[in-house]
Structure 1
Amino acid sequence: MIKVTIDHQQHVFPKAISIIEACQQVGIQIPHFCYHPKLDIAGNCRMCLVDVEGSRKPIPSCANTIQDGMVIHTTTDHVKKDREGVMEFLLINHPLDCPVCDQAGECDLQDQTLHYGRDRSRYMEEKRIVPSKHMGPLISTTMTRCIHCTRCVRFAEDIAGVTDIGAVGRGEHMEITTLEQAVKSEISGNVIDLCPVGALNSKPYQFQGRPWELTHTDTIDVMDALGSHIRVDSRGGQVFRIKPREMEDINEIWLSDKSRFAYDGLLSQRLDKPYVRDNKGTLQPASWDDALANVVQQLTTTPSHKVAALAGDLVDCESMLLMKRLMQHIGSQHLDCRVVGAYADAENPASFVFNTSLNDIDTADVCVLIGTNPRWEAPVLNIRLRRGVVNNGMQMFRIGFEHDLTYPVVDLGNDVVVLTDLLAGKGKAAKALKMAKRPAIIIGQSALQSSQGSVILNTCAKIAEKYNLVRDDGWNGFNVLHTAANRVGGLDLGFVPGENGLSATDMIPATHDGRISLMFLLGVDDVAHKISKNTFVVYIGHHGDKGASRADVVLPGCAYTEKSAIYVNTEGRSQYAHKAVNPPGDARTDWQIFAELLNRMGHQKQYASIQDVRKDLQKENNEFSENRSFSKRHWDSNMGVKGTLVSEELQPAIANFYMTNVISKYSKIMAQCTKEIFQGDKK
């Protein structure tokens, strides 16, 4: 234990930490600009100077660790004068443009000038002018405001693993620059949050509003399967920006660019009223009563074994539950939440979740990626993997397609038969797994979507058993990484084919041979155009995309920012999202649509509120209880289908990071990123 005296009070700390961290732990705030708990120490700004007895001069509290018996003073006249001097130097060249700066109201420089700055300026010379830099379609720059804290540079190099942001020149002539090119990182927007002044701001949000004008709603992101915690800022029923919330166990303080900037897609091509296709084949606006009556008529006249239902990637648990109840009521077994056809063993929960937990994966010493590109499929998870490789010495191996992951990785080849060699103990990866104390594998959707997905899962389970990936000390290194926000929720609900039921890949051909004559598409667009024209299609969703174009009845639903709902992330954690804005026009929450259909079909149970639905959810599976912490699933190696793998190359599950769902598809911001960053990289 380390005993330290801070401002005449003695405190005890279990280990050596920096002085600034020690002060924060006991409730003493030390002003700072360059220091950030998630970044390496730079010691640039000198704002965090403190007096330490025995030292001849003030020392930076961020760059010095506490020592037993140390006596620290943070409020002496000397310290106050030091801080005023630092603030005076920082403000020498800073422009007086707070009224037009997007950072105003959330600016560290403003706040600290108020508390630690002088009440007048002695500087009479001309201020320095620095040209703004081009950082791509997401980040606006006003580099005259830059105070050279280098947070953005350290983030790019240490966290993002790219070298697109750097510094040129020295002293007063130093400039932060990207050499006039876009920052090619899927997490570049985090530099906006890191910048303590108004030098780096959100380009889409520029001049759109002030923080005190916006309503802040805490909710959950659905752009990938991590379930990152976010804050939606809205005004007048419109989302103006999305920022990350701190959640150390999931996204820490980071957020991917798609999650942060795709919100403008919520305004385009929205469904705001029901539609019914007339005798001429044209979709016509209809009342809710007429549209629902049309659906009920089709359900009552169609044999139950000819009715099927698909749930898309952005669908919440409440909606899937009531859709399942509707299918159970009519007696159909044809339902599935795996639209892309990825194999999953719904009877074995440990076979389809991220068992290690997101918070522990960087503690593995060996990790094998199997058919996954975490940089695109889960950018924030890729931050943890990079930290494990760079800081903790994790050995990383890959089976599948090549892609720059921002850290060293040993390629074992893009052929699923490599798994057979790994199981047989051949190769470098086998040797590393055998010697590892905390081994892990991450199975991606590319592997499970292949024609041998079930055999691949079974083989991976055997690998887990052979190399002791699941241990008595609580370590479980068997992980499945999903790309859909609530795929695990659907599997926990059992939203999969029942006995003799058709899977997602079988339903489409079944519409052409007459086995399926009515299909529900709940937020499903990508496969809608493949459905036979003779099949009656009911589409429930929030965007007028392929699903709505193909439908005979369109029922407008709500996007993720417009409803309170439960989503289960890739590690099996049940999380509650909250409504931020109202849906457009006459759109209704999806669960309410199915509750009304159930009522009209004579279902005994009534769902009058979302609480009624959630009670039924908890009866269906106790994973949906209000305990939102990570819970380990019971390990059972009996998963998948036994078989012999044959040579097959894996294909990427995501073709373009910036456009993976119907919201990002209609985002103009994501379209700009696709043009400047994604397509620019391919040239």
Structure 2
Amino acid sequence: GKGGSRYEENKRAVTEKYMGPVVKTQMTRCIHCTRCVRFSEEVAGVEEIGAIGRGEGMQITSYLEQAVHSELSGNVVDLCPVGALTSKPYAFEARPWELTKTLGIDVMDGVGTNIRIDSRGREVLRALPRVNDDVNEEWATDKTRHAVDGLMKRRLDKPYIRRNGKLEAVGWNEAFEAIAAVKAGSSVAAIAGDLVDCETMYATKKLLKTMKSEMLEGRQTGLSYDVSSLAAVNFNSTIAGIEDADVILLVSTNPRWEASLVNTRIRKAVRKGGAKVFGIGPEADQTYPVEWLGNDMSLLNDLPNAVKDALEQAKKPALVLGGGALSVEGAHGAALKLAKQFKLVRDDWNGFNVLHIGASRTGGLMLGYAYDGGIKAIAAKKPKLLFALGADEMDYSAFENSFKVYVGHHGDAGAHAADVILPAAAYTEKDGTYVNLEGRVQRSNKAIFAPGDAREDWSIFRALSEVVGKKLPFDSFADLRAKMGKDHPELANEGLVAFDWAPPTGLPDKPKGQGVHPVKDFYLTNSIARASATMQRCSAELLHADDEVMEAAE
């Protein structure tokens, strides 16, 4: 063939850009459609991607070629029409036709993002968002997409018993007999973590009921707010509905980290509807203008006149109460008082919202996982036997004298404190029902099998119940789900549960203290994320700026 090329024009090659731990670039493919620029500016609200140069020399790049500081940056991979931006953790991992695609629900936060779980063999390789305009539109956070590599690391795959201070691997029967040997009577408690499905909580509740105990708690960080009316602890505007609000008061919440996809809706309300946003609590960049009033929760009783006027004149006023606010005594009552004063709840609008962080929180409250006085009241009763259902954020020192059984999937804080470990399935390894922060019941499907000897949580409790001599009345998952639907009809069907607005009266309403943001590190909020190498990289680089380049010799 001819040695020379007949192509005489300049060939345009573009160097690769650095866009952080989750986005890989091949910019020679880029056609300058600026979709990624528009997404980061309009949806994510982080103006860090743009164009430099002009004409033939134009290039799309991040500001100073730094990582993009957004918790939604992974979405640009889905938007890019030519593959100039691709997924860095997933690059060269698999071909699409090798993957089994399963419809699931994400458990990284309380939003209940609809996802597609792509797996090959016994490994989940990626999670992609599914379109659901009521919940997550077509977006997913970086944690939803990329924490899945944590599902294979630090896994509990066989039962353990602690002997002489050390955990030893044993068989299932031995582990069950060690639990049965604890003559606890009715002194049994169960604490549910943030990633648990409703079926697991229901099976545990049934087992405790046969033991004549009602010590159930799902608020593992120690919160103890009034749950006599579930509407008073629900996100009533709904996720899609918050877009219509015209005045929003954020109370001790950082929605950008606590529920990123609720934050994009609030941003939409500001950009498209001209909504005004006021904030009480520690200041945090929310990607839209917020007028911060201060950090003292007593401001709920003494709002500045400008805020009062705005709330009075608003057609659809909304209040968003964060998990940090629920930890301040009196804040919940003061917020409900505000709701009454400014008519946040009207015939066609309910603007009173509580933002839950855990995927299992609303479902847990519906199943009665809220003990009067919270986890402290349970600790004060010194239960002889404690079941921890994937609870890794709680303080185990309060249960020093209890026999602790950890039922979970990762070797995290809960496993370190346990006397017996029963290895369970993660959210991709079991069918389950989850209720998101607005009270929407959603079903997730099993994508892969749990590793090693790990079993699905409900079957662990069914097998344990026989050893303890309190046999549970179901033999299959379908059987369990049918019984749960009978006892709790609101969980029988998918869709939004309508909670009647009947707020509790007589709550303390004089809050004292500072607001807090419970999420200290967006990327490391649960045991799966903490085991994920990608999330660790994101945390180190984007939040803690560990950008010292390692030399080859090091």
TM above 0.5? yes
CA contact (8 A) 1:365 1:392 kept: yes
Alpha-carbon distance in structure 1 between the residues aligned to 2:337 and 2:26: 55
Name the residue aligned to 2:378. Answer: 507
Equivalent position SS for 1:585: coil
Alpha-carbon distance in structure 2 between the residues aligned to 1:640 and 1:350: 16
Q: Does 1:587 align with 2:447?
A: no
CA contact (8 A) 1:599 1:606 kept: no
Alpha-carbon distance in structure 2 between the residues aligned to 1:672 and 1:302: 44
Q: Structure 1, residues 645-674: CA drift from partner, whole Å, max 9, x if none?
A: 33x111111000000000001111111111
CA contact (8 A) 1:357 1:630 kept: no
Name the residue aligned to 1:571. Answer: 438
Alpha-carbon distance in structure 1 between the residues aligned to 2:21 and 2:280: 33
Q: 2:133 aligns with which of 239, 243, 248?
A: 248
Q: CA deviation at 1:532?
A: 4.6
Name the residue aligned to 1:156. Answer: 40
Name the residue aligned to 2:551. Answer: none
Alpha-carbon distance in structure 2 between the residues aligned to 1:151 and 1:379: 20
What amino acid maps onto 1:216 in structure 2?
A: K
Q: CA deviation at 1:470?
A: 0.9
Q: Does 1:130 align with 2:14?
A: yes
Change (3 A) 1:385 1:176: same
What amino acid maps onto 1:462 in structure 2?
A: K
CA contact (8 A) 2:192 2:388 kept: yes
CA contact (8 A) 1:312 1:524 kept: yes
Alpha-carbon distance in structure 2 between the residues aligned to 1:129 and 1:671: 33
Q: Does 1:488 align with 2:366?
A: no
Q: 2:253 aligns with which of 355, 367, 372?
A: 372
Name the residue aligned to 2:552. Answer: none
What amino acid maps onto 1:395 in structure 2?
A: K
Equivalent position SS for 2:495: coil
Q: 1:189 aligns with which of 67, 74, 85?
A: 74
Equivalent position SS for 1:412: strand
Change (3 A) 1:296 1:204: same
Alpha-carbon distance in structure 1 between the residues aligned to 2:165 and 2:245: 57
Change (3 A) 1:467 1:533: closer
Change (3 A) 1:548 1:619: same
Alpha-carbon distance in structure 2 between the residues aligned to 1:123 and 1:239: 45
Q: 1:656 aligns with which of 521, 524, 528?
A: 521
Name the residue aligned to 1:630. Answer: 496
Equivalent position SS for 1:396: strand
Name the residue aligned to 1:439. Answer: 317
Q: CA deviation at 1:554?
A: 0.7
Q: CA deviation at 1:269?
A: 0.8
Q: CA deviation at 1:468?
A: 1.0
Q: CA deviation at 1:528?
A: 5.2
Q: CA deviation at 1:630?
A: 2.1
- Please list, as runs of the form range in 1=range in 2, the aligned pairs for 1:347-426 lying within 5 A after superposition: 347-422=228-303, 426=304
CA contact (8 A) 1:215 1:233 kept: yes
CA contact (8 A) 1:186 1:256 kept: yes
Equivalent position SS for 1:641: coil
Which shows bigger deviation, 571-580 or 321-330?
321-330
Change (3 A) 1:289 1:639: farther
What amino acid maps onto 1:322 in structure 2?
A: A
Q: 1:559 aligns with which of 411, 414, 426?
A: 426
Alpha-carbon distance in structure 2 between the residues aligned to 1:123 and 1:575: 57
Name the residue aligned to 1:176. Answer: 60
Equivalent position SS for 2:346: coil
Q: Does 1:619 align with 2:486?
A: yes
Q: CA RMSD in A?
A: 1.9
Change (3 A) 1:198 1:537: same
What amino acid maps onto 1:588 in structure 2?
A: R
Q: Which has the larger radius of gyration?
A: 1
Q: CA deviation at 1:293?
A: 1.9
Q: CA deviation at 1:682?
A: 12
Q: CA deviation at 1:681?
A: 9.5
Name the residue aligned to 2:192. Answer: 311
Alpha-carbon distance in structure 2 between the residues aligned to 1:534 and 1:125: 79
Q: Does 1:607 align with 2:485?
A: no
Q: TM-score, normalised by structure 1?
A: 0.77
CA contact (8 A) 2:278 2:291 kept: yes
Q: 2:109 aligns with which of 208, 220, 224?
A: 224
Alpha-carbon distance in structure 2 between the residues aligned to 1:438 and 1:122: 66
CA contact (8 A) 2:198 2:364 kept: yes
Uncovered stretches (5+) of structure 1, i.e. residues with no partner: 1-120
Alpha-carbon distance in structure 1 between the residues aligned to 2:215 and 2:359: 22
Q: 1:277 aligns with which of 155, 162, 167?
A: 162
Percent sequence identity over matched residues?
47
Q: Structure 1, residues 472-513: CA drift from partner, whole Å, max 9, x if none?
A: 2x211111110000100000011222xxx6631333455xxx
Alpha-carbon distance in structure 2 between the residues aligned to 1:643 and 1:134: 50
What amino acid maps onto 1:520 in structure 2?
A: F
Name the residue aligned to 1:641. Answer: 507
Alpha-carbon distance in structure 2 between the residues aligned to 1:547 and 1:531: 13
Q: CA deviation at 1:291?
A: 1.1
Equivalent position SS for 2:545: helix
Q: 1:668 aligns with which of 528, 533, 536?
A: 533
Change (3 A) 1:605 1:656: closer
Q: CA deviation at 1:303?
A: 3.3
Q: Structure 1, residues 269-313: CA drift from partner, whole Å, max 9, x if none?
A: 1000111223x2322111111211221221xx1231x32211101
Q: CA deviation at 1:357?
A: 0.7
Q: CA deviation at 1:622?
A: 1.8
Q: How many corresponding residue pairs?
A: 543
Q: 1:463 aligns with which of 338, 341, 357?
A: 338
Change (3 A) 1:123 1:349: farther
Q: 1:207 aligns with which of 73, 83, 92?
A: 92
What amino acid maps onto 1:645 in structure 2?
A: P
Change (3 A) 1:379 1:456: same
Q: Does 1:478 align with 2:359?
A: no
Equivalent position SS for 2:161: strand
Name the residue aligned to 1:36. Answer: none
Name the residue aligned to 2:305. Answer: 427
Equivalent position SS for 1:222: coil
Uncovered stretches (5+) of structure 2, i.e. residues with no partner: 549-554
Q: 1:236 aligns with which of 117, 121, 127?
A: 121
What amino acid maps onto 1:570 in structure 2?
A: L
What amino acid maps onto 1:494 in structure 2?
A: G
What amino acid maps onto 1:244 in structure 2?
A: P
Q: CA deviation at 1:640?
A: 7.0
CA contact (8 A) 2:320 2:353 kept: yes
Q: Does 1:259 align with 2:144?
A: yes
CA contact (8 A) 1:417 1:645 kept: yes
Q: CA deviation at 1:427?
A: 2.3
Equivalent position SS for 2:65: coil
Change (3 A) 1:272 1:602: same
Equivalent position SS for 1:680: coil
CA contact (8 A) 1:345 1:639 kept: no
Q: TM-score, normalised by structure 2?
A: 0.95
Q: 1:448 aligns with which of 310, 326, 334?
A: 326
Which shows bigger deviation, 601-610 or 246-255?
601-610
Change (3 A) 1:618 1:540: same
